[in-house]
Amino acid sequence: MVSLKLVNTNNTDIDFVEHRDQLFYNKFLYRVNFKLEGVRYTYYIDTPDELSARIRESDPYSRFTDRTNLAKAKDNEIALRNFVEWRTNFKKLKLGVVRIESHHVSVFSNDLLYLKTIENIDNYIEYTYTEADANVFKGVRYFVEKPKHKHRAYLKSKKIDKNYIETMQSMLNNSTNLYPSKSFTKWLEEAKMGPLIWKYHYTSGSHYIDYDDENMLSYMVLMLGNVFGKRYKLEKRPDPI
C-alpha cells in the first residue's frame, strides 16, 4: 500500500500515515516495521535461552538448514535475544500483534509509547512507524444487487485550484482501477470546456469514485491531497432470514 508522509510535523514519532478503509487488523492505529536478519529462528520461542539453544544446536550441514540464515542468526544473536524478550513481554501485556515474514518484522498496537521501546533491541536497526488514517470511513452501503465494485470514496465539497481538474483527469485516464460516477465524469468533461464558470471552481460532495483495491485510496490521496470525504464499503444487502 502506498504510504504518505505525515503532514503534521508536530508528531515527530511517526514516519508515515497510511490512508485506509480500516485500521490495521481492524483495531490497531500504529505499526512499526524493521528488518532483523535471522528473526525466523525466533518462531515458537518464548525465552532468549531457548533461542540460543536453537541456534547452537542447528546442524549447518543438514539439508534442512539454510547456512546463510544460520550465520546471520549467529551474528545477530544478541539482538534476536532482545527481540524475543521484548516480544514475550508484549504478548503478556496483550498490547497488539507481531508478524514475521522472512527477515522482516511488523508490530501492530495502539500504544505508541510502548511500541517505541522496541528500539532497545538494537541501536543499528532502522525502525519505520506508520499511523493508520481511517477517520472518515463511515461504514457499509448496501445494494439490492451485488455492486460492481468494493469501495466508494466521496469527494468533499470544497474550492479547488486550477491544477485539480487536469491532475484528476490524468489520474483517471492512467488508471484502469478507478471508476468515477457518471455525474463526476460529466462534470470533468464540462470543466475542461468552461474553466471560467464558477461552478467548476468547486467540487461536489455528491461525486464519487469506486475502486476494488484498497490500495487505490492512498494512491488517490497521494495524487490529489485531502479532497476525499466519506468512504464506504459496498456490499449486497443480506437476504432476509
Closest CA to 130 of 2, 39, 40, 228: 2
- pLDDT confidence of residue 195: 57
Contact between 98 and 105 under an 8 Å Cβ cutoff? The reply is yes
208 and 110 in one domain? no
160 within some domain: yes
54 within some domain: yes
CB proximity list for 148: less than 8 A, separation 6 or greater: 179, 210
Least confident interval from 29-43, 56-70, 113-127, 171-185: 56-70
118 and 9 in one domain? yes
Give the structural domain span for 53. 4-133
Residue 221 grid cell? 490521496
DSSP letter, residue 202: B
- pLDDT confidence of residue 163: 81
Residue 5 has pLDDT above 50, yes or no: no
174 and 56 in one domain? no
170 within some domain: yes
pLDDT tens for each residue of 187-206: 888 887 765 566 678 888 89
pLDDT tens for each residue of 6-34: 444 356 688 888 777 678 988 899 999 99
Average pLDDT in the chain:
84
Q: Tell me which amino acid residue 220 is.
A: M
Strands, sheet with 16-19, edge to edge from the N-terminal-most edge strand: 4-5, 16-19, 128-133, 30-35, 104-109, 96-101
Cα-flanking dihedrals φ and ψ of residue 219, to 5°?
-60, -45
Which of the four pLDDT bands, split at 50, 70 and 90, describes residue 113? very high
pLDDT tens for each residue of 204-213: 889 999 999 9
Residue 102 grid cell? 522472512
Least confident interval from 95-99, 196-200, 216-220, 225-229: 196-200
125 within some domain: yes
Q: What is the C-alpha radius of gyration for the chain, rounded to an integer number of angstroms?
A: 24
Choose the final residue of a domain: 105, 133, 161: 133
Contact between 154 and 208 under an 8 Å Cβ cutoff? The reply is yes
13 and 129 in one domain? yes
Q: Is the pTM of this model over 0.75?
A: no
What's the number of domains the chain is made of?
2
11 within some domain: yes
241 within some domain: no
